[in-house]
Amino acid sequence: MEGAVTPEDPGVAPEASSRQRLLIEARAEFANRGFDGARLQDIAERAGLRHPTLLYYFSSKEGLYAAVIETAVADWAGEIHGAIENKLDGFDQVARLIEMAFSFFEHHEDFVRIVRREAIEGGGRLADAIAEFLRPFLERAVAFLERETAAGRLRPHDPLEVMQLCYGTVLTYFSDARFRRELTAEDPLSPEAVARHRDALIALLRRALDPRPTG
């Protein structure tokens, strides 16, 4: 029927679905302009689609924003599952999770900026999604740290504070990359710089948490 909203527009390359392309462009738009400044028309055009097609998949800006957050957090959950399924013990598991976190944020720079915008602007749109998807991970991580400490495979520490320190350190490294580039005159997002910072954090935590002798 003429004028009906359809999920696909003619002439669009089939290599990625319309919904996937919209999510990719929306993540960049929300990261660069924030929720209030993002325009659905611009997102649709950059995805090679029409505005009505966007509304076919996402009925509102709020719905699109929620889908962007949920998709990124689901990716994060998948990375976590991959990092813990090897069932390492003690600090070896801690180090593996930190490596995973660096890898995730390195490849989700837009999501890092969205998180920082939400934290600063206090829009409240992200809090529920983060809590819903990440609280089980936090609780599981704290339980793991407590269990490994009780077993003598980690030194005594405050597991909740350790988790917050790791989260803040890793996220800030990527969210402040542009400022750090001006400060240090190097690209902090180069593979070499990311690996150096990751290894430095792991080394510091190893000295604090790993009871095994080094060297």
Q: What is the pLDDT of residues 176-202, one digit of tens each?
A: 988 889 988 899 999 999 999 999 999
Question: Could you tell me the two tokens for 126?
Answer: 């992200």
Predicted confidence at residue 132, as pLDDT, reads: 72
26 pLDDT more than 80: yes
Does the residue 1 lie in any domain? Answer: no
Higher-confidence position of 194 and 70: 194
Higher-confidence position of 115 and 172: 172
pLDDT, averaged across the chain: 85
State how many domains the chain has. Answer: 2
Domain hosting 180: range is 66-209
Same domain membership, residue 47 and residue 131: no
Whole-angstrom CA distances from 70 to 61, 88, 144 are 14, 28, 25
Same domain membership, residue 127 and residue 54: no
Predicted confidence at residue 6, as pLDDT, reads: 45
Return the half-sphere exposure (C-beta side, CA atoms, 13 A cut-off) of residue 184: 13
**In terms of pTM, does the model score above 0.85?**
no
Does the residue 215 lie in any domain? Answer: no
Higher-confidence position of 133 and 199: 199
126 pLDDT more than 70: no
Final residue belonging to a domain, choices 59, 76, 91: 59
Q: What is the pLDDT of residues 96-115, one digit of tens each?
A: 999 999 999 998 888 888 88
Same domain membership, residue 91 and residue 47: no
Average pLDDT over residues 165-184: 90
Q: How confident is the model at residue 39 (pLDDT cuts 50, 70, 90)?
A: very high
> Which amino acid is it at 207?
R
Predicted confidence at residue 122, as pLDDT, reads: 61
d(Cα 77, Cα 24) in Å, to the nearest integer? 18
127 pLDDT more than 70: no
Higher-confidence position of 36 and 90: 90
CATH number at residue 198: 1.10.357.10
